[in-house]
Amino acid sequence: MSTEQQEAIRETTAVLGGRHTSASVTDKIGSTVLVRPIKPGWLVGFGIGFLLTMVLLFAVTWLFIKGVGIWGINIPVAWGFAIINFVWWIGIGHAGTFISAFLLLMRQDWRTSINRFAEAMTLFAVACAGMMPLLHLGRPYYFYWLLPYPNTMAMWPQFRSPLVWDVFAVGTYATVSLVFWYMGLVPDLATFRDRARGRVARAVYGVFALGWRNSVRHWHRYRMAYLLLAGLATPLVISVHSVVGLDFASAILPGWHSTIFPPYFVGGAIFSGFAMVLTLAIPLRWAYRLQDMITLRHLDNCAKLMLVTGLIVAYGYVMETFMAWYSGNPYERYVVVNRALGVYAPFYWIMIVCNVLITQLLWFRRIRRSTIPLLIVSLLINVGMWMERFVIIVTSLQRDFLPSSWNVYAPTVWDWLIFTGSIGLFITLFYLFIRVLPAIAMFEMRELVHEADRTAPAPARVWAENHDA
Amino acid sequence: MPEERTSFGLMAEFESPEALLEAVRQTRAAGYRRFDAYTPFPDDELIEAMELGSTLIPPPVLLGGMLGGAGGFFMMWFANVVHYPLNVGGRPLNSWPAFVPITFELTVLLAALTAFGVMLVLNKLPMPYHPVFNVPDFERASADRFFLCIEASDAKFDLSATRAFLNTLHPRLVLEVPP
């Protein structure tokens, strides 16, 4: 076999490119935070995120002063941008948990270099999501009424309501994601403690590393606990978006009252989540030259999962339409017609183009393996999934049973400011994360290098040996 | 009063996981029991060679999960049947199917927190001070070096004899760990 052929094999199959050792992966990932100075590119990105976060703060302050009347919501469309954004953000989070938990259980070694930042993405997306229903409360200072606590009114939350299920599902999801992420970080924080130069950095990383000393006795228990957490997080992630789906399905509105909602929502969540993973991974690997750790195989695999979940979503659209016709229910039929031809038809068709048509490009290997087209496809899917939530929420509410209660919904500038502001918050948190914490799990990469050494000659090793001379 | 130990133990440094694995096997064969290995990543073979037995983590996690689920269901049952029963058109007060999602969420929540908590407790973390960090070069245990420490509390420990034994394992160097 010629060297070129071997290189071609390496390119297509490797989860770890180039020649890496325990020391070199640690150096490379660690130096991004500990050695590399802040570059103008980072400052610009962070600056944009920070500016938008300030916009969010401004819009939220005005909201708290004036109330939800500044938004476009009214009767009948009482759920506007806040709920659209909530569903969109929480869905994005799902890919992070899917990568870190489900792929761990399936022993997929390619998860290793993308799980850390995907988990961080989950946390930040859940933070953006969790904020939305609270802002939507109208009287947000009574948010704690959502929780069951002993009170003089002897009142309890309505445990039979999916909206209360949401509080528990999202609360559990946020907590478990944080624990999972932090636990994965502990050994890496210990590495940072051991390598940081400044006294303050050593102390701060040291405190959060909890005195981790890489003892095999510790690793033994650590691995078991991590595996159990993965086993718990996997059904959890399915349950969270199912409950979000039930928020709609348990209402009697045409277009919402459907048993397909929970699985269709979970598929859509993972679909949009992988789109966001790629939206973050492609610039990240370029900016920090991580092409040998986040390889084309990672992008290819994420794209394949995006294609699969995209087809599930497309099936959902088809089934929704079919069931509306098959049920013979005039209200259900009208919702479908109204979505495709009514006031919000452009939103519907953008959704179909982005989520169904554009996704079919991922059948082509060339697209899955070219970064720029893949990035564009991912961005369009992000847009498409936001449109999907808009279509589901607004069109059903806008025209339900009685024409006398029909009305048109239009978002105001405050809706848009809070939406773009939440994207700013997400960007800010992500930029801070890549400068403060290891964006790739270092100890898992060391393990991967060790496994590769042991199971040599893998294509990567063969290539490496040939290049020794 | 127990006598004040002058050292925590002896630390041998190795350059490869294979060398450490061999050293661990020989240390066990030589009859040492109170020793620990330090590696930059978890390694199944090493964990096996240490003969650590069960982690003791799964049973408490199961218990935590069951407690979360039972507690969650009890809370909803108590609220709807005992504390604030509300008759809506004669529907059953204990409408258990509607309680399933929250029961599930609380099961996962408590099980997950237990898994993390028990891992910390059994590993005695957080630990602000540990003697092994006094060894120069030990910070490389979190990057690319492999360590074996036989602790002075081992019945078979003898400073010179143990040092001689460790030197037969081809370490890079052997150092005494101050307490």
User: Over the stretch A319-330, which tens digit does the pLDDT of each residue have?
Assistant: 999 999 999 999
pLDDT at B56 over 80: yes
pLDDT at A120 over 70: yes
B93 touches chain A (CB under 8 A): no
CATH number for the domain running over A15-460: 1.20.1630.10
Nearest to A179 among B52, B112, B132 (CB): B112
The values of phi and psi at residue B11, to 5°, are -115, 125
DSSP A105-170: HTT-GGGTTTHHHHHHHHHHHHHHHHHHHHHTTSSGGGGGGGS----TT-----TTSHHHHHHHHH
Residue type, A314: A
- When pLDDT is cut at 50, 70 and 90, the band that residue A295 belongs to is very high
Which neighbouring-strand residues pair with B150? B10, B35
Strand order in the sheet with B146-151: B35-38, B146-151, B9-14, B173-177
pLDDT at A13 over 80: no
* Predicted local distance difference test score (pLDDT) of residue A159: 94
Alpha-carbon distance A98 to nearest alpha carbon in chain B (angstroms): 16
Mean pLDDT along residues A386-397: 96
**A275, A378 in Cβ contact below 8 A?**
yes
Q: What is the mean pLDDT of chain A?
A: 92
Mean pLDDT along residues A121-129: 96
pLDDT at A355 over 50: yes
Strands (E), A5-112: none
Cα B62–B122–A443 angle (5° rounding)?
Answer: 95
| Nearest one of B128, B117, B145 to B38, comparing CA atoms | B145
Distance CA A288, CA B54 (A): 41
Task: Note the Cα B96 to chain centre separation in Å.
Answer: 38
Strands (E), A20-87: none
In chain A, which residue's Cα lies nearest the Cα of B146? Answer: A214
pTM of the model: 0.93
* Predicted local distance difference test score (pLDDT) of residue B2: 52
Residue type, B49: A
The values of phi and psi at residue B13, to 5°, are -110, 135
pLDDT tens column, A31-64: 989 988 999 999 999 999 999 999 999 999 999 9
Which neighbouring-strand residues pair with B149? B11, B36
| Nearest one of B101, B123, B100 to B52, comparing CA atoms | B123
Distance CA A58, CA A414 (A): 10
Whether the bond into A457 is cis, omega within 30 of 0? yes
pLDDT at B39 over 70: yes
Question: Tokens in use for B24?
Answer: 């661990």
pLDDT at A462 over 60: no
pLDDT at A466 over 50: no
Q: Do B79 and A172 count as a contact with CB atoms less than 8 A apart? A: no
Residues of chain A contacting B73 with CB distance shorter than 8 Å? none
B121 touches chain A (CB under 8 A): no
B19 touches chain A (CB under 8 A): no
**B109, A233 in Cβ contact below 8 A?**
no
CB pairs under 8 A between A and B: 187
Q: Do B104 and A239 count as a contact with CB atoms less than 8 A apart? A: yes
pLDDT at A158 over 50: yes
